[in-house]
Amino acid sequence: MTENQGYRILVCMKIVVTGATGLLGRAVYRQLKEKSSFMVVGAGFSRSKAPLVTLNLRNNDDLRSFLLEEQPDCIVHCAAERRPDVSEAEPEASEQLNVEVTAHLAEHAQKNGICMIYISTDYVFDGTNPPYYPDSLPNPLNFYGRTKLAGERAVQDTVSDFTILRVPILYGGEQYPLESSISTVAASLNKNRGGRFDDTAIRYPTYTGDVARILEEIILMREAGNSFTGIYHFSGKDALTKYQMALMMAPYLHIDEVCISPDRTAGGSAKRPENSHLDTEKLKKRVNISPTSFSEAIKTGKLLWRNPSLKK
């Protein structure tokens, strides 16, 4: 709200969401656009369609022109290369997107007095000594985790007004069966009518809609003049291996539990933490949102496998 010649003019907060075509960015864009009075501009890349803006974040000139034209008050930076095995195989491309682009956004944010919200990951931790608090010492095991940590540091070292929100494995609103690691379990289970699933790594499946609501709350609090600077953690509550997730999904896919077996040999080319449980107490003191339970997500169809197109 600003004063102008005796009139009070309502000024909406303008928010840019990067990665607005991605798993999380879609939920965030929708939440901010539909449920709040913010002005929201979503930017995507290869999947972008109007009203989203198509922007290659790797092109620094295009990025700068876009930000100068839009003049946002806040950037929610969701775009990233989030697949650990791809990051390992294509380190330069991942470093460019996860670190250099983040650093450019951070520089622009600081220069123009914009707040920056950066989405990070539990993979900044090595998973040997859970739970992890926002001030626990990071020690990423794989290249993806290292780039996300470097992105965090670029934000922290550059922007005065920043929030870093670390989240674990995400699901919800997938556009295709392999879009999240969890819908991948569902798709494989459904296709093979059973299978072997990892029973070594403990994961905390987290619903994208919950993360989007938290980001909305954070922005509303910022809009109301409250500081929200620092690192925060959010996580689903259920501690599950993929094998346990498959067992929970099985009845809904009419698959007999005997067709599902535990795999105790860790897979994937990138090393992954065994249990990088994020402690969420710091966030809970500021934002009142309880996470969707995994069983509720399965029952209520928040997972893609409830979509008939998957049941082939």
Instruction: Quickly tell me which residue has 């983040």 as its tokens.
Output: 102
Shortest distance, position 193 Cβ to ligand NAP, whole Å: 26
Which residue, 3 or 61, is less far from ligand NAP as judged by CB?
Answer: 61
Q: Is 44 in the site for ligand NAP (CB under 6 A)?
A: yes
Q: Is residue 228 a contact partner of residue 163, using CB atoms and an 8 Å limit?
A: yes
User: Minimal distance in Å, beta carbon 291 to ligand NAP?
Assistant: 14
Whole-angstrom distance, CA of residue 57 vs CA of residue 217: 26
16-24, 156-164, 216-224, 293-301 -> range binding ligand NAP (CB under 6 A): 16-24
Q: Where are the alpha helices (DSSP H) in the chain?
A: 23-35, 60-70, 84-89, 91-95, 101-111, 143-158, 181-192, 208-223, 242-249, 281-284, 294-299
Of 38 and 234, CB closest to ligand NAP:
234
Stretch that binds ligand NAP, among 74-82, 263-271, 286-294, 304-312 (CB under 6 A): 74-82
The dihedral formed by the CA atoms of 267, 211, 130 and 266, expressed in degrees to the nearest 10: 0
Q: Is 104 near ligand NAP (CB under 6 A)?
A: no
How buried is residue 5: exposed, middle or buried, by Cβ count under 10 Å (0-12/13-18/19+)?
A: exposed
Does 19 interact with ligand NAP (rule: CB under 6 A)? yes
- Interaction of residue 57 with ligand NAP, rule CB under 6 A: yes
DSSP track, 213-240:
HHHHHHHHHHHTT----EEEE---S--B
Contact stretch for ligand NAP (CB under 6 A) within 18-26, 247-255, 260-268, 301-309 = 18-26
Q: Does 184 bind ligand NAP (CB under 6 A)?
A: no
> Can residue 121 be called a binding residue for ligand NAP (CB under 6 A)?
yes
**CB-based contact 84:146 (threshold 8 Å):** no
- Tell me which of 17, 40, 78, 114 binds ligand NAP, using CB under 6 A: 78
Confirm or reject binding of residue 156 to ligand NAP (CB under 6 A). Answer: no
- Going across the sheet that includes 74-77, the strands are 53-54, 39-44, 14-18, 74-77, 115-121, 162-167, 230-233
Q: Is 167 in the site for ligand NAP (CB under 6 A)?
A: yes
- Closest approach of Cβ 30 to ligand NAP, in Å? 13
Q: Which of 45, 204, 232, 294 binds ligand NAP (CB under 6 A)?
A: 45
Which parts of this chain interact with ligand NAP (CB under 6 A)?
Answer: 19, 21-25, 44-48, 55-58, 78-80, 82, 97, 119, 121, 148, 167-170, 180
